[in-house]
Amino acid sequence: AKCQCKVVPRERTNCGYPGISAAECKKIGCCFNASVPGVPWCYNAKAKKVKKVCPNDPYTRINCGHPGIKAKECTKKGCCFRAHPAGVPWCFYHRVMEE
């Protein structure tokens, strides 16, 4: 994404080789900006910001426990726990969402 290429010039980490073209740089998944001399022009994008959330739809839950698992044991494993509704996992994995 374009916003991930907005990296302060002095914080850029090199992603290419000397003399790499803009097209080749982008082809290998890197950012290119030749407007600032003395810093990498082909550089790595900023990492995406993500957060973990417990999914709202009980029918999309992916089981993280076992039948009869207690809430404390489930959350100790780093999973979500909701003891409802019947017929779906009560201990289940988080989903990773972009912020």
Domains 3-47 and 50-98 share a fold: yes
Instruction: Give domain limits for the chain.
Output: 3-47, 50-98
Q: What is the CATH number of domain 50-98?
A: 4.10.110.10
Q: Amino acid letter at 84?
A: H
Q: Can you give the pLDDT at residue 1?
A: 60
Mean pLDDT, each 10-residue run in order, the chain (99 residues): 84 93 95 94 88 92 94 96 94 87
| pTM over the 0.75 mark | no
How many Å apart are CA 99 and CA 94, to the nearest integer? 15
Q: Can you give the pLDDT at residue 93?
A: 96
Please report which residue ranges of the chain form alpha helices under DSSP H. 22-27, 71-76
Q: How many residues does the chain have?
A: 99
Residue 74: helix, strand or coil by DSSP?
A: helix
Q: Can you give the pLDDT at residue 90?
A: 95
Residue 54 pairs with which residues in a beta bridge? Answer: none
Q: Can you give the pLDDT at residue 59?
A: 92
Q: Can you give the pLDDT at residue 46?
A: 87
**Domain 3-47 sits in CATH 4.10.110.10:** yes
Structure tokens at 77: 């494993």
Q: Can you give the pLDDT at residue 3?
A: 74
